[in-house]
Amino acid sequence: MANEEFPLKKVCIICAKGTIEDVYAALVMSNGAVMEGIETKMFFTFFGLDAITKKTMNSLHTGVVGNPAMRMPGGLPFPTLLGAIPGVEAGVSAMMRSQMDKLDIPPVKEFLEMIEAGGGEVYACKLAMDMFKLKKEDLWEGVKEVLTVGQFYEKCGGLQTQIIFT
């Protein structure tokens, strides 16, 4: 079987969005890969940079306006206008984070530290950093390097490697 003959050896996971769900999709997939012994490289770009910026990393939000999958506790649809009320987005986001904590899903910083402890590598996109006027010292200390797209691709070579865009 192809899966046994050619197991995945390396994943390069790109995170370009800064909502809780986009960032956690990238973190869960990366940590999962590290746990399986798969070489893992993460690349944060555009709003995804929020997840590795010290100031924002532990207070990410989820979108409550224009998110048709959003539900009230209990399953009723979440009215878009309700999401427009100040504080609602923060409340919903805090609730989501507490739900995740119950499943032993750690806060962003701790999650990144877990990935790093297992040998995963975290990179930031140079172009997006320039755009948002961010400096290396604004980022979480575990960020290995600020890279151009070309430099990131150089790290993504090799057989049995996949690039995943969350």
Partner 1 sequence: MAQKIYAGVSVDVNEEGYFTNPAQWTREMAAEVAGEEGINLTDNHYAVLSFLRERYGKGEALTIRSVGNSGIIDIKGFYGLFPGAPMKKAAKIAGIPKPSSCV
Under the rule (CB under 8 A), what is the footprint of partner 1?
28, 31-32, 35-37, 103-106, 110, 113-114, 117-119
The strand pairing partners of 41, in sequence order, are: 12, 121
Q: What are phi and psi of 164, to 5 degrees?
A: -120, 130
Gap between the Cα atoms of 82 and 66, Å rounded: 11
**CA 127 centroid distance within chain:** 18
Structure-token pair, residue 146:
């600020």
CA distance 26 to 39: 15
**Cβ 105 to partner 1 shortest distance, Å:** 5
Nearer to partner 1 by Cβ, of 35 and 84: the residue is 35
User: Among residues 36 and 130, whose Cβ is nearest to partner 1?
Assistant: 36
CB of 87 to partner 1, least distance (A): 29
Query: Least distance in Å: CB of 8 to partner 1?
Result: 12
Q: Encoding tokens for residue 56?
A: 């924002």
Closer to partner 1 by CB, 84 or 117: give it: 117
Q: How far is the CB of 94 from partner 1 (least distance, A)?
A: 20
Q: Which residue lies nearer to partner 1 by CB, 5 or 104?
A: 104
